[in-house]
Structure 1
Amino acid sequence: MSIEHVIPYANPVYFIWLIIALLPMILTLLIKGKRWGWYQTALTIVFLYISFGGHYWQQGVALIGYVIFQTILVYGYHTYRKKKNGSGVFYGAVAAAILPLFLVKVTPFFDGQSSLFNFLGISYLTFKSVQMIMEMRDGMIKEYHPFRYIQFLLFFPTISSGPIDRYRRFEKDLLTAPSQEKYLDFLGKGVWNIFLGFLYKFILGYYFGQVLLPIVTKDFLHHGLISWGFLGYMYVYSLYLFFDFAGYSLFAVGVSNLMGYDTPVNFNKPFLSPNIKEFWNRWHMSLSFWFRDYIYMRLMFTLIKKKVFKSRIVASNVGYFALFLIMGVWHGLTWYYILYGLYHATLICVNDAWIRWKKKHGKNLPSNKATKAFSIFLTFQAVCLSFLIFSGILDKLFF
């Protein structure tokens, strides 16, 4: 296997190169409590080449062009923002930041081929770019340093699988290496996260995805919805999706920790959530919080300020449907992704209605460990059904 043909964290060989490359940085942080900026830059170039070199050179070119475009765009908006504060330019800058991702998502829908702009991790970089523009407009980011921004975009541990970090938090870690005592904690967390990632991705994820999933898929497609294969596929696919994705995220967080960065975790026992809102506070947390902060909250502020709806409940429900419709479309322009988004919006609206009803009429309803366990059970069923929709297998079953 040549060095330029490895997708991040997809092969154990990648980790051998990674540990060898990180060892000087680990020793420097342990012994001196410092981080060599030039060495991190060199590491970034090497591992981006590993991910986007060789047969993936077109993705590498697309990545370089994308970063140049976003760097100039954010610089232009920041320069304008220092002089004026027009909402039209703000919305134009956000639209321009989203445009490459939009083209990537739309192009296959029309001609069935991948866009030339596409590269691994374009969604995560787009979220970071939009975040920068929005926080500049809000006055939360007052200074723009192009090289720091590029480092934020190209932070190689998280470029392919997240989590979606926040610029101000990342910049703080970038400029200030952890003390030797604090780095020992980071080192311990990093090793733990990487080993847990191996358990999730290469053992549990492999078992559910490569061993069980083909069996239940065949049974489900053969017998249809009224079969044990339906339940088998629903649960097996849901567990595979979690362990595979959470494993990737743990690798990204663990490697970040080894480099002295406190990258936020992405999953927090989501299948133990007692309701659907809590689930979204535990599942792919960086994405959930990004959509909440930069889409839902801003949409709600506009709807309430403009008095579009008299009822806050109606405004909230409209906001949820808009939010999850966008999330569904972001996954892809197919009916099952859109249905997945609308399904979750419906669940959250029903959950809110239930909470309001309980406040008025539910004083005598029991609340104990048994009811909490039942809530967790129901939420798990609802989530697994949503992943069944998300998987796209119903498209094969019916069409």
Structure 2
Amino acid sequence: MHYFEGLSFFMTLGLVLIIAFILNVFQKSTYYLSLLFSVVMVYFVFIKTPDQLIALLGFVVLGYILMQMTSKLKDRKKTMPIMVLLAGLPLIVVKVLPVFHVNGFGFLGISYMTFKLVQIIIEIYDELIEKPLSVLDYTHFLLFFPALSSGPIDRSRRFMDDWHKQRSRGEYLELAGTGIFRLVLGLFYKLVLSGMVFQHMNGPVEKDVTYLIGYMYLYTAYLFFDFAGYSLMAVGASNILGVETPMNFNFPFISIDIKDFWNRWHITLSTWLRDFVFSRVVMRFMRKKVFKKRLTTAMVAYMINMTFMGFWHGVTLDYIIYGVYHGVLMASFEWYQKKSKFYKKNKNKTWYKITSWLITMHLVMLGFLIFSGKPLLWISKLISMQ
């Protein structure tokens, strides 16, 4: 069984959601039921890969210990970087080991669970979380099955507020209705549209550059329908369970600039990076007076932020280049916004918005092409043909 794949998962999901719907309609709590179903889903998904199951359980236990230790630290300012590093260490090991042709220790969803754990630790440090989560709340937040494997990346305080919120029957029915629509639309995206694009995408690698251009458009469509479809299903299932998991996409292909794109694409990832990487890099640079100008500080912070995003996807050349590429785009656009008189004069004009949209979309699709790894494969194919 795999999350949001295969008949067995969807049959189990249907049963879970029907039970949750009935209980919510009759104003009964589904907290323990949802936790039970999340644990059961983990068991069925990982039972054929016991090494991953053990790694997942180890991560959950380690994270809980780190959370408790963080809450008891007296001098948090000095020890916080160590706690964050310890929380991220399993992910770092999982990402780095394949470089040395060593696999293992990882499990499905480790990237997203790591960000959840790091968020808890940092917000305890910031005193936004007054006390550590209980064992059940912590386990439920990390293992919540709709968002375990590929997000969206929720925040613990928002998630817990949802569970402690008592909705009226009318409020729940409205949320559940929205959830059913999102679940069905996500199924259509992932099972129908992404499948149709995939059939036309995976032909033999041609040496003609027009092959790469065609692949770029097809891969962009496939990536959107596949990932947006999964995200819609995850959010829809969450809604039926009574949780308003944040949306991950907001019409990204109408973006008129690269910042607008990252406010619309993989929203929970970009907001997490903004809150826990970009903002903190900026504040640290400003406190230390690393750069004289705020613009330079912001540009460097964008480079660090997006390069970090590339490494988070994986320690391979295509992912790293993808992160650096978007760092350059974000930093360059920051300079362009602040310094260009041409931009300030024309930014609200229709012709400029259309031109900016067209350029932005092709820059984004070029990034997806890099992300796919196909250009490196294409180059190696050309070299082998010589």
Name the stretch that deviates more: 376-385 or 41-50: 41-50
* Distance of aligned partners of 1:36 and 1:355 in 2 relative to their CA distance in 1, 3 Å threshold: closer
In the alignment, structure 1 segments of 5+ residues that lack a partner are: 1-5
Q: 1:222 is matched with which residue?
A: 206
1:243 shift after superposition: 0.7
Q: How does 1:15-30 map to 2 (within 5 A)?
A: 15-30=10-25
Cα deviations by residue, 1:325-368 (Å, 9 ceiling, x for unpaired): 1111111112221111111111112212222244x455653743
| Aligned equivalents of 2:32, 2:67: Cα separation in 1 | 24
* Distance of aligned partners of 1:149 and 1:270 in 2 relative to their CA distance in 1, 3 Å threshold: same
Q: 1:287 is matched with which residue?
A: 269
Name the stretch that deviates more: 8-17 or 278-287: 8-17
Q: 1:187 is matched with which residue?
A: 176
Alpha-carbon contact 1:34-1:177 (below 8 Å) kept: no
Alpha-carbon contact 1:177-1:260 (below 8 Å) kept: no
* Distance of aligned partners of 1:11 and 1:373 in 2 relative to their CA distance in 1, 3 Å threshold: farther
* Distance of aligned partners of 1:319 and 1:233 in 2 relative to their CA distance in 1, 3 Å threshold: same
Q: 1:387 is matched with which residue?
A: 368
Are 2:144 and 1:162 aligned?
Answer: no
Percent identity at matched positions? 39
Q: 1:3 is matched with which residue?
A: none
1:279 shift after superposition: 0.4
1:147 shift after superposition: 2.0
Which of the residues 6, 9, 22 maps onto 2:4?
9
Are 2:282 and 1:300 aligned?
Answer: yes
Alpha-carbon contact 1:173-1:260 (below 8 Å) kept: yes
Equivalent position amino acid for 2:311 in 1: V
Cα deviations by residue, 1:57-78 (Å, 9 ceiling, x for unpaired): 2211111111011001111111
Q: How does 1:47-62 map to 2 (within 5 A)?
A: 47-53=41-47, 55-62=48-55
| Aligned equivalents of 2:348, 2:39: Cα separation in 1 | 55
| Aligned equivalents of 1:344, 1:96: Cα separation in 2 | 28
Q: 2:29 is matched with which residue?
A: 35
Q: 2:383 is matched with which residue?
A: none
Q: 1:65 is matched with which residue?
A: 58
Equivalent position amino acid for 2:41 in 1: F
Q: 2:38 is matched with which residue?
A: 44
* Distance of aligned partners of 1:74 and 1:362 in 2 relative to their CA distance in 1, 3 Å threshold: closer
1:174 shift after superposition: 1.7
| Aligned equivalents of 2:220, 2:347: Cα separation in 1 | 30
RMSD: 1.5
> Aligned residues, how many?
379
Alpha-carbon contact 1:152-1:170 (below 8 Å) kept: yes
1:9 shift after superposition: 0.5
Equivalent position amino acid for 2:40 in 1: V
Alpha-carbon contact 2:30-2:241 (below 8 Å) kept: no
Equivalent position amino acid for 2:106 in 1: N
| Aligned equivalents of 2:263, 2:68: Cα separation in 1 | 33
Give secondary structure in 2 for the equivalent of 1:274.
coil
Equivalent position amino acid for 1:292 in 2: R
Alpha-carbon contact 2:207-2:378 (below 8 Å) kept: no
1:51 shift after superposition: 1.2
1:131 shift after superposition: 0.4
| Aligned equivalents of 1:35, 1:370: Cα separation in 2 | 54
In the alignment, structure 2 segments of 5+ residues that lack a partner are: 381-386
Which of the residues 69, 94, 103 maps onto 2:84?
94
Equivalent position amino acid for 1:222 in 2: E
* Distance of aligned partners of 1:377 and 1:363 in 2 relative to their CA distance in 1, 3 Å threshold: closer
Q: How does 1:229-308 map to 2 (within 5 A)?
A: 229-308=211-290
Are 2:98 and 1:104 aligned?
Answer: no
Give secondary structure in 2 for the equivalent of 1:133.
helix
Are 2:110 and 1:122 aligned?
Answer: yes
Alpha-carbon contact 2:299-2:335 (below 8 Å) kept: no
Give secondary structure in 1 for the equivalent of 2:346.
coil
Alpha-carbon contact 1:224-1:397 (below 8 Å) kept: no
| Aligned equivalents of 1:38, 1:261: Cα separation in 2 | 14
**TM-score, normalising length from structure 2?**
0.95
Q: 1:354 is matched with which residue?
A: 336
| Aligned equivalents of 2:214, 2:79: Cα separation in 1 | 51
**TM-score, normalising length from structure 1?**
0.92
Equivalent position amino acid for 2:85 in 1: A
1:86 shift after superposition: 3.3
Equivalent position amino acid for 1:93 in 2: M
Are 2:353 and 1:372 aligned?
Answer: yes
Alpha-carbon contact 2:146-2:234 (below 8 Å) kept: yes
| Aligned equivalents of 2:345, 2:156: Cα separation in 1 | 47
